[in-house]
């Protein structure tokens, strides 16, 4: 009976979900760092056949991290208390769901009806060619092979050079800002500057492309091709598990419009696709580039100093490099920013989770300040020209706002509010409320809708 099976699967999924930590707790690196020797797993997490598990995966790792200790123990209980037939139904369903985009159109559309329309409000599925490109563009697919073609077509070396200069200008600006912080003591400043100078930027594309030797691809077997890709990357991971970590690997493909900070490597990464308008234009006015991609650079640098990234040092090791007084001062400012964003109400009765989005909000507010500082340094004391009736400062802040324009359904917005770590674009665009220069640029006065009194503006970095 399909209805009964569906009810069983939903009940099992709900049971598993209910024992997980809340999202805010799962963000806390102090709580999720729980290293354990492989040999002691059965002692601390009994009633699960760990030997068979690792034999099946192929991993021989001598030590690992259990990010959620209590939930793992609870899931082991669920595994042992749930009938085998229910697990068969659960795994069958998830196998079909996870491969819906590879199967017949009726299966894909049934999956889209729930995940696309019901959950996200999307009325029409994407064209098949876009789905195909998306399927092949991931890091665990042919993404880097496609990325190599993308880079050759759309990313000149001159853009990489110009971007590298922007990164160094932002590094200089943040260094000066750290020197001038009035809430941080000298000891912590030294450690912060050490971490800043150790940032490793990666721009555009990897120096060494992902090899695909030994991968079997057939023109008439989509499901088989995807399974071969999964096996290919799994076997590569198993083969390299005990080797020294490859710091040259990328976690995103060049054609992905995104950027990231990796705290374990203390690196900031900017794929080629985000180095296109509206984020970056090699021929654009400097104010626009600093307000757009400059603030994104600052945002990623800011992740190294947000509420969680700040728990890792210059070498990517999780340790406390703060004095107690400085950490307390930082936490107080972070709490104030979390409270500010928690007041935003995109949909009546549904607010931004300022605590869950705190890292991103610190990145936005701090990154914008760094980018503005770097922009002013680039002017070398000169006045920016007025272009189309707009001053340099006005163009800077408008560029920031424009990159966050978006259209989305109410269902999609609700999903982001419940589970996302980013504030909606409208509220990311409002980060300048915390910067005095924005008020001066647009003559924002008390009584204006977005006005924040000076004592309510949050300045961390």
Active site residues: 300, 364
Give CA–CA dist 295/51, Å, rounded: 48
The first and second tokens of residue 102, run together, are 């590879």
| Dihedral sign (CA 3, 5, 9, 14) | positive
Pairing outcome for strands 200-204 and 267-271 = parallel
From the list 212, 203, 300, the residue with the least C-alpha distance to 254 is 203
Pair 118, 131: CB distance under 8 Å: no
Pair 309, 263: CB distance under 8 Å: yes
Give CA–CA dist 395/296, Å, rounded: 16
Q: Taking each helix axis from N to C terminus, what angle separates 358-379 and 392-402, rounded to the nearest 10 degrees?
A: 150
Q: If phi over 0 gives left and psi between -120 and 50 gives alpha, with beta otherwise, what is residue 349?
A: left
Q: If phi over 0 gives left and psi between -120 and 50 gives alpha, with beta otherwise, what is residue 316?
A: left
Q: What 8-state DSSP symbol labels residue 379?
A: H
**Residues pairing with 390 in the sheet:** 387
Give CA–CA dist 20/71, Å, rounded: 5
Query: 3-state DSSP call for residue 271?
Result: strand
DSSP 3-state percent helix, strand, coil across the chain (nearest 5): 55, 5, 35
């Amino acid at each position: 009976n399909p209805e009964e099976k569906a009810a069983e699967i939903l009940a099992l999924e709900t049971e598993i979900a209910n024992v997980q930590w809340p999202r805010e707790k799962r963000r806390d690196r102090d709580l999720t760092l729980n290293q354990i020797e492989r040999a002691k797993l059965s002692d601390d997490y009994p009633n699960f056949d760990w030997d068979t598990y690792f034999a099946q995966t192929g991993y021989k790792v001598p030590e690992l991290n259990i990010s959620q200790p209590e939930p793992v123990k609870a899931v082991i209980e669920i595994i042992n208390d749930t009938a085998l037939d229910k697990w068969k139904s659960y795994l069958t369903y998830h196998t079909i769901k996870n491969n819906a985009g590879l199967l017949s159109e009726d299966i894909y559309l049934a999956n889209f009806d729930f995940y696309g329309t019901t959950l996200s409000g999307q009325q029409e599925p994407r064209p098949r060619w876009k789905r195909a490109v998306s399927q092949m563009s991931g890091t665990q697919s042919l993404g880097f092979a496609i990325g190599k073609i993308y880079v050759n077509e759309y990313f000149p070396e001159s853009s990489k050079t110009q971007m590298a200069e922007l990164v160094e200008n932002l590094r200089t600006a943040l260094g000066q800002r750290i020197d001038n912080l009035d809430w941080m003591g000298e000891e912590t400043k030294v450690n912060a500057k050490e971490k800043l100078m150790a940032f490793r930027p990666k721009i555009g594309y990897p120096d060494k492309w992902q090899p695909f030797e030994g991968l079997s691809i057939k023109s008439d077997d989509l499901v088989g091709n995807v399974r071969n890709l999964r096996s290919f990357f799994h076997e590569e991971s198993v083969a390299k598990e005990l080797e020294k970590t490859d710091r040259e690997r990328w976690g995103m493909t060049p054609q992905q419009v995104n950027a990231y900070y990796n705290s374990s490597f203390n690196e900031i990464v900017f794929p080629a696709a985000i180095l296109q308008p509206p984020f970056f234009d090699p021929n654009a006015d400097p104010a626009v580039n600093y307000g757009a991609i400059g603030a994104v650079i600052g945002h990623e640098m800011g992740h190294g100093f947000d509420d969680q990234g700040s728990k890792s040092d210059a070498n990517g090791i999780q340790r406390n490099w703060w004095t107690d007084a400085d950490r307390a001062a930082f936490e107080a400012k972070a709490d104030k920013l979390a409270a500010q964003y928690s007041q935003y109400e995109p949909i009546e009765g549904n607010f931004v989770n300022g605590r869950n989005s705190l890292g991103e909000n610190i990145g936005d507010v701090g990154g914008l300040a760094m980018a503005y500082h770097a922009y002013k340094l680039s002017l070398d004391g000169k006045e920016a020209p007025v272009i189309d009736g707009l001053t340099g400062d006005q163009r800077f802040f408008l560029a920031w706002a424009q990159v966050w324009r978006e259209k989305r359904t109410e269902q999609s917005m609700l999903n982001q509010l419940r589970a996302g770590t980013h504030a909606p674009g409208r509220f990311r665009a409002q980060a300048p409320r915390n910067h005095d220069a924005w008020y001066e640029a647009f003559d924002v006065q008390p009584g204006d809708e977005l006005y924040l009194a000076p004592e309510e503006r949050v300045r961390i970095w």
